[in-house]
Amino acid sequence: MILSPSTSMEVHWPQAEHVVQLVIGGNNVILPQRDVHSIETVMDIVSVRPNPGSVGQFTRGGEVWPVYVLSGTLRTIHTPPDDHRIVVLLKYTQLPFGILCQHIVFSHLHEMTFHPMPQVFYHPRSPLVGLVLNKGEVYCATTAEQLGISIHGEKL
Amino acid sequence: MIHQGISSKKVTAWLLPITSDITVAVGEFELVHVLPEIPTLFSIPWTPSYCHQVLVWQERIIPLMDLGIRWKMPEKKVETIGLDSSKIGLFIYRVIANNSLDYGALKLSAIPQRCEVYDEWGCSLPAEWRDYARDLHSCFKEKSSSISIPILQLNEIFSVPGYDIQTEYFDTVFPF
């Protein structure tokens, strides 16, 4: 059965949102700022792997955050690049997690234009919810939830 | 090409060279613009290998497709166009789901040629094109030519890739 699941494209981006720009594997990824729990350093990661695909975990106040490394294609990889020194802990209700990134910039969406994902880019496990145009540059837009579904979906 | 018929209907079309061997056609008003030079292209993760980049044109983000890769043409025809020698055509089409207009870009191996197509040039789709029938409106053959030229169905080409929910298999090519 071949389906064209066009309704799955209708993921909404939070309006008038403060955003964070993460540089991951050379790629710019935009997330709503409210999806970020905290920013930490790679030095605090313990090399215990609570989840398959994670490179370690971050522990605070009894909570455990598995930490993942993503490539520029937003796929999990097992070896952290040397220049990925920042850990961003994200609020994902199913399983809070962290990802490593090269840089992080706080910004506001009004400085950018959000564009829905072109239909031809649909993939059921893509973490992307749209594209953002910022001064002639194209960034990928996601949310903690979509990123979490994509990362954990890869392990299924 | 001189057509002798008096009463036959004709329409204007654009012939699009996809590779040196493959030419397809679109309607006169579907081709919006041919970019004079290759713009900055941005790669987008989790996208099909035949359409994994976008370009920015007039504040729009437009997906760029390589039909040679999409159609997995026989070896001699799969000569992926090097960006240094290719052109990029921008097209407009109507989205079936919501009747809105949208844009898509195609890699071309040369500048499109304008032509007139007569009703009686219509022909059946050659066997080599049958696998790609979903992407095509119909086909025509110029009177003095033996080459059939398929007409693109742009709204289908730029729509959501077909996905088999039973096997989780995409009928498209992903680069992973």
CA–chain centroid gap for A91, Å, is: 11
Tell me what pLDDT residue A110 has: 79
Q: Is the pLDDT of residue B175 over 50?
A: no
Among B161, B164, B174, select the one facing A120 at the smallest CB separation.
B161
pLDDT of B153 = 95
User: Cβ contacts (< 8 Å) between B47 and chain A: which residues?
Assistant: 120-121, 123, 126
Complex-level ipTM: 0.85
Interface probe, candidates B50, B58, B163, B169, chain A, greatest A C-beta count within 10 A: B163
DSSP B147: -
Q: How many CB atoms lie within 10 A of CB A120?
A: 20
Nearest to A119 among B65, B159, B176 (CB): B159
Contact B61 A127 (CB under 8 A): no
Do residues B16 and B109 lie in contact, with contact meaning Cβ atoms separated by under 8 Å? no
Region A78-106 average pLDDT: 90
Nearest chain A Cα distance for residue B6, angstroms? 42
DSSP conformation letters of A69-124: EE-TTS-EESS--TT--EEEEE--SSS-EEEEESEEEEEEGGGSEEEEPPGGG--T
> At A29, which helix (H) or strand (E)?
strand A27-32
B60-65, strands of its sheet edge to edge: B31-35, B87-94, B101-108, B60-65, B53-57, B41-43
Q: How many angstroms separate the CA of residue A138 from the nearest CA in chain B?
A: 7
Q: How many CB atoms lie within 10 A of CB A44?
A: 13
Give CA–CA dist B19/B134, Å, rounded: 20
Q: Does A95 touch chain B (CB under 8 A)?
A: no
Rounded to the nearest 5 degrees, what angle is found at the Cα of B163, between the Cα atoms of B160 and B169? 140
Does the beta-carbon distance from A73 to B48 stay under 8 Å?
no
pLDDT band at A61 (very low <50, low <70, confident <90, very high): confident
Contact A35, A143 (CB under 8 A): yes
**Helix, strand or coil, per DSSP, at residue A67:** strand
Could you give the CA distance from residue A137 to residue A120 in angstroms, rounded to a whole number? 20
Q: What is this structure's pTM?
A: 0.85
Helix, coil or strand: residue B48: coil
- Cα distances from A21 to residues A51, A105, A108, B59, in angstroms, run 26, 5, 10, 20
A128-134 and A36-41 beta bridge pairing: unpaired
Whether the predicted pLDDT of A156 surpasses 50: no
Residue A132, pLDDT > 70, answer yes
Average pLDDT of every residue of chain B: 83
Q: Do A119 and B160 touch (CB under 8 A)?
A: yes
Q: Determine the distance from the C-alpha atom of residue A74 to the mean position of all C-alpha atoms in its chain, rounded to a whole number.
A: 8
Taking the C-alpha atoms of residue A71 and residue A80, their distance in angstroms, rounded to an integer, is 9
Over residues B37-68, the pLDDT tens digits come to: 899 999 999 999 899 999 999 999 999 999 98
Q: How far is B147 from B152, CA to CA, in rounded Å?
A: 16
Q: pLDDT tens digit string along A1-52?
A: 233 333 334 455 666 578 999 999 989 999 999 999 999 998 888 887 667 7
Q: Could you say which of A120, A136, A137 has the minimum Cβ distance to residue B159?
A: A120
The answer to whether residue B6 scores a pLDDT higher than 60 is no
Contact B65 A120 (CB under 8 A): yes
pLDDT of residue B165: 39
List the single best residue of B160, B164, B176 to mutate versus A (max A Cβ within 10 A). B160
Which among B42, B157, B164 is the nearest to A138, CB-wise?
B42
Asked if the Cβ–Cβ distance from A128 to B104 is below 8 Å, we say no
Residues B154-164, mean pLDDT to the nearest whole number: 81
Angle at B14 between CA B29 and CA A120, to 5 degrees: 70
Q: How far is CA B71 from its chain centroid?
A: 10
- Cα B171 from Cα B54, distance rounded (Å): 21
Residue A44 confidence (pLDDT):
85
Q: Could you tell me if B25 lies within 8 Å of chain A, comparing CB atoms?
A: no
